[in-house]
């Protein structure tokens, strides 16, 4: 029997105290979010999406994990979403509504005609970009991944891994700090347990963290060290079924000691513009060849005489949709670069502000010290001043 669908109960959740899964990041701020987005039915309760399965959604509620049907309408849930839990029209417990996201990592397939974005994870507070010291930094990749991180609405953080490989570390650390353009950098060695506390100091209680980085960067090892147990299969790749990697994770949101939540979804792990350059070459390499056939080396491929692109469009050998995709991707990359420049400028200003502030503090401390010294010399007080 469906007791909720026709509920005429005038009391709504807004007046009730809300209880959500605290270990999955349900804080006072999230309670506010639920209050601001009143539930479709009065007895609905807050939950958070821990994993998506084919037909069901694994959701954390205050009373534990539940495997529930998808909502019938509205946003399609993503891992990390805050949702109202209630009952569907069939009267079964179900996810009834997905709340608005404050951040989302999405993969936009710029080069495809249908450029529908795929949400890989939502409500992420901190995107940790993992950079291992055991390989050279690839040109621009860190910067571009940081831009993508800012773009998601989260705050980026750079995490250097494998710092115990000291013979390699120095060069990479210096280079990373330069490229990180003011974003904070934490150096860790999961194997030695170094830097983990410092990393956790950057992750406030209740915050949701993801690790992004290339394969073999040490993400699983770091995750296991942070979680204090084996939740990730490290190093091993299961071969055979051609479906890529499989891990033993059963949940994609993992509560950490201290109240932070780690998001580890397969899609998010490999995310980033780590392969944007390669992808571009792969997708549009033939266009580069075409460009060499334009009459002018600096051809803008618009109305110039002898433009090979316009000719190819005219004779049908270049699909106009493909050309449009190329232009779109170019624009997006340019926009990312501009955003990065803006982010770098902001970070630079912040850094200066901090320097000025601390110089100021230093000056005040020096004045206080001189004052105390003078008092001591004058024999008044005698003891060290408190505060």
Ligand X SMILES: Nc1nc2c(ncn2[C@@H]2O[C@H](COP(=O)(O)OP(=O)(O)OP(=O)(O)O)[C@@H](O)[C@H]2O)c(=O)[nH]1
The residue from 164, 275, 304, 376 that contacts ligand X (CB under 6 A) is 164
- 72 and 98 Cβ atoms separated by less than 8 Å: no
**Residue 337 interacts with which of Zn ion, ligand X, none, CB < 5 to 8 Å by class:** none
> 131: which strand partners?
160
By C-alpha distance, which of 156, 2, 3 is closest to 90? 2
The residue from 75, 299, 333, 347 that contacts Zn ion (CB under 5 A) is 299
The residue from 309, 312, 318, 343 that contacts Zn ion (CB under 5 A) is 309
Token reading at 1? 């029997």
Q: Does 69 bind ligand X (CB under 6 A)?
A: no
The Cα 362–Cα 202 span in angstroms is 25
**Which range binds ligand X by CB under 6 A, 47-55, 157-165, 200-208, 251-259?**
157-165
- 153 and 138 Cβ atoms separated by less than 8 Å: no
The Cα 249–Cα 240 span in angstroms is 19
With tokens 């980033």, the residue in question is: 272
By C-alpha distance, which of 335, 266, 332, 264 is closest to 109? 332
Q: Between residues 88 and 188, which has the closer beta carbon with respect to ligand X?
A: 188
Q: Does 48 bind ligand X (CB under 6 A)?
A: no
Q: How many other C-beta atoms can be found within 10 angstroms of the C-beta atom of residue 256?
A: 18
The Cα 104–Cα 124 span in angstroms is 7
Q: Between residues 238 and 350, which has the closer beta carbon with respect to ligand X?
A: 238
The residue from 51, 87, 144, 162 that contacts ligand X (CB under 6 A) is 162
Q: Does 265 bind ligand X (CB under 6 A)?
A: no
The Cα 288–Cα 347 span in angstroms is 36
The Cα 161–Cα 223 span in angstroms is 12
The residue from 122, 221, 310, 325 that contacts ligand X (CB under 6 A) is 221
Q: Between residues 232 and 325, which has the closer beta carbon with respect to ligand X?
A: 232
- 40 and 84 Cβ atoms separated by less than 8 Å: yes
Q: Between residues 283 and 299, which has the closer beta carbon with respect to Zn ion?
A: 299
By C-alpha distance, which of 205, 259, 263, 211 is closest to 78? 263
Going residue by residue from 183 to 212, which x/- string records binding to ligand X, judged by CB under 6 A?
A: ------xxx---------------------
Q: Does 140 bind ligand X (CB under 6 A)?
A: no
Q: How far is the CB of 145 from ligand X (least distance, A)?
A: 14
Half-sphere exposure of 165 (CA within 13 A, CB side): 15
**Residue 165 interacts with which of Zn ion, ligand X, none, CB < 5 to 8 Å by class:** ligand X
Q: Between residues 236 and 357, which has the closer beta carbon with respect to ligand X?
A: 236
**Residue 340 interacts with which of Zn ion, ligand X, none, CB < 5 to 8 Å by class:** none
Q: Does 148 bind Zn ion (CB under 5 A)?
A: no
With tokens 């200003």, the residue in question is: 349
Half-sphere exposure of 188 (CA within 13 A, CB side): 31
**Which range binds ligand X by CB under 6 A, 139-147, 158-166, 316-324, 329-337?**
158-166
Q: Between residues 7 and 234, which has the closer beta carbon with respect to ligand X?
A: 234
Residues that bind Zn ion (CB under 5 A): 294, 299, 301, 307, 309
Residues that bind ligand X (CB under 6 A): 161-162, 164-165, 189-191, 213, 215-221, 234-235, 269
């Amino acid at each position: 029997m469906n007791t909720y669908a026709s509920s005429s109960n005038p009391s709504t959740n807004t007046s009730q105290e809300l209880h959500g899964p605290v270990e999955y990041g349900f804080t006072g701020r999230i309670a506010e979010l639920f209050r601001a987005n009143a539930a479709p039915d009065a007895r609905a309760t807050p939950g958070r999406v821990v994993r998506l399965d084919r037909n069901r959604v694994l959701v954390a509620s205050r009373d534990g994990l539940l495997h529930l049907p998808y909502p019938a309408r509205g946003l399609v849930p993503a891992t990390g979403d805050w949702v109202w839990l209630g009952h569907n029209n069939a009267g079964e417990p179900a996810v009834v509504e997905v709340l608005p996201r404050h951040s989302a990592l999405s993969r936009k397939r710029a080069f495809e005609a249908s450029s529908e974005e795929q949400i890989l994870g939502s409500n992420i507070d901190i995107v940790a970009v993992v950079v291992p010291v055991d390989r050279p930094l690839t040109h621009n990749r860190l910067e571009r991944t940081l831009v993508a991180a800012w773009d998601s609405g989260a705050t980026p953080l750079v995490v250097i891994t494998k710092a115990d490989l000291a013979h390699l570390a120095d060069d990479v650390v210096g280079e990373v700090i330069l490229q990180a353009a003011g974003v904070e950098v934490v150096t860790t060695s999961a194997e030695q347990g170094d830097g983990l506390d410092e990393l956790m100091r950057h992750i406030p209680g209740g915050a949701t963290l993801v690790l992004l980085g290339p394969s073999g960067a040490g993400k699983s090892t770091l995750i296991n060290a942070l979680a204090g147990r084996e939740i990730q299969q490290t190093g091993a790749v299961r071969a055979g079924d051609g479906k890529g990697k499989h891990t033993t994770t059963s949940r994609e949101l993992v509560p950490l000691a201290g109240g932070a939540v780690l998001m580890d979804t397969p899609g998010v792990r490999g995310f980033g513009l780590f392969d944007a350059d390669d992808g571009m070459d792969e997708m549009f390499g033939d266009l580069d060849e075409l460009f060499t056939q334009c009459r002018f080396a600096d051809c803008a491929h618009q109305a110039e005489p002898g433009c090979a692109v316009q000719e190819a469009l005219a004779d049908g050998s270049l699909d106009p949709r493909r050309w449009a995709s190329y232009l779109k991707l170019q624009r997006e990359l340019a926009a990312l670069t501009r955003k990065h420049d803006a982010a770098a400028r902001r970070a630079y200003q912040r850094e200066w502000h901090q320097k000025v502030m601390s110089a100021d503090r230093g000056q005040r401390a020096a004045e206080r010290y001189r004052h105390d010294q003078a008092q001591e010399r004058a024999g008044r007080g005698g003891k060290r001043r408190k505060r």
